[in-house]
A and B are shown apart, each in its own frame.
Chain A
């Protein structure tokens, strides 16, 4: 009888431990969510105060005279567009190769390199763009910044594209081939449209990722106080502007950094939530 009692006690202990661990892991999850809400809440609280229309369209001015982030917004958009034009087609092409022809040694190797490249620090990409583009050109340029961002995009887009194309049922390919279409027509006209929304999602996520990048732009696009659309000239960006204002000693610039952050976060969160909304419907 006492044996049964002892094992009953042990059972209770085991169940108590199990319940305790459930609570502890739940607390871990809650604390991460709390940190997110604290950060986002603080950005909104500090950012809204300095935000107005003039701030969004003006160029930076000396301390005490206001000024805004108009040129930085234009610069960021130009850099993102430049990177997308180079990075997205290359990434998608690589992704198609990996999905359709990549079941061999070379494919495995490329997949491995792509995965490892996504983990390479973005500052290193900046150092590379500086060594390979800024030094030979002898000036900071929007082009160098765009290339650096494109390098960050390519592996991300390539791997999501591969994943999305692999989800397309083989039946579709077979049907196209059976009708006499060559493989390239089957891929371009049948498989790619079927995977299009997934590929677009991957591209959007890559854009969200590079719009927050600062380190690769510090010594490639560098920054500028003027509106500029020239690819061979330094150009402003939201992130570098936030950095420069954040480490400045002026309260006014700090406030502007928060407002610029609010604009940047709105852009990034909008992309993330949109992507989430669309992927949710599909799976």
Chain B
């Protein structure tokens, strides 16, 4: 028996038989080492994929970055014919439509989650939870189709006029109501992120120890007071759920593209058409003529990627801090 090397990765040749490094195969079995290495490569591929995504998009975005630098982010004008590319109208549209979605969706999602985890008997909670989850299974393009033919007319004829009557004196509800615009985009986003936020909040509430509820009830708290104790305990996770919903809203593409009007302008009125980062990519990518135009769109894609990545990472950490399990991400 002779040792060919020493240290932690000792490879030993015993009677001319090759032994695998301990790290790969504690049993010394060749199959184990190969199996583990193969699986490791697959796992590594996910990491490489992420790196490749950033690298490929950054590479294709070079012409635009070289031309505009960071001015790209606050340029107010998007005029492909003149070769002017500024991202501010899209950033504005993305932020405002997502905020509308959150304002509408967060109370609703919290209500749903509280009802399903804290209030409803199991026999009722299960089917309702399934139905709410089904909302997440409807494809974006279907929401868009429904948005064009049902929601937009509804906003134009039923919702818009009374809103304008009540709040027409503010700058937010002025102008002609076409039904296609920021408000409709925000509403459709709210519907789309509600199942996601409520599902994560459900997980978070379910992870709060039963002892917390028993303690509150034992002190004579009512059901709602008990729920408030549970909510306080799950607060970081709930915040994580909301941020997760924000990430979804920011990246949502098809439905928004179909109802937001796709006009690169910054208008305070929620009835006016707007444009988001995701929808300008979807809408103009295939007709982008010229390297600069295309690279500007790819740079928008890269920005969207980095922003949603950071938001998701943050949300994930917050949810993990409460529901610290190895649960897979909600799809």
Contacts and interface: CB of A to CB of B under 8 A. Distances in A.
A182 B40 contact: no
A42 interface: yes
B268 interface: no
A94 B132 CA distance: 30
A100 B39 CA distance: 10
B139 A29 contact: no
B251 A131 contact: no
Given A90-B45, A117-B50, A239 B312 contact: no
B112 A28 contact: yes
Contacts of A131: 56-57, 59-60, 298
B169 interface: no
B70 interface: no
Residue among B45, B107, B139, B326 with most chain A CB within 10 A: B139
Interface residues of B, number: 97
Nearest to B28: A182
B222 A14 contact: yes
B135 to A, nearest CB: 5
Interface residues of A, number: 101
A185 B29 CA distance: 11
Residue among B49, B140, B145 with most chain A CB within 10 A: B145
A226 interface: no
Interface string B89-129: 00000000000000000011111101110111000000010
A114 B47 CA distance: 8
A121 B308 contact: yes
Interface string B21-46: 00001010101101110111011111
B210 interface: no
Residue among B59, B116, B130, B281 with most chain A CB within 10 A: B281
A113 B114 CA distance: 30
Nearest to B149: A254
Interface of A: 14-15, 17-18, 21-22, 24-29, 31-33, 35-36, 38-39, 42-43, 46, 90, 93-94, 96-98, 100-102, 106-107, 109-128, 130-132, 135, 151, 154-156, 158-160, 162-163, 166, 182-185, 187-188, 202, 205-206, 208-209, 211-215, 218-219, 222, 239, 242-243, 246-247, 254, 257-258, 261, 264-265, 268-269, 272, 276
6 contacts: A90-B42, A97-B42, A127-B57, A128-B52, A202-B328, A218-B282
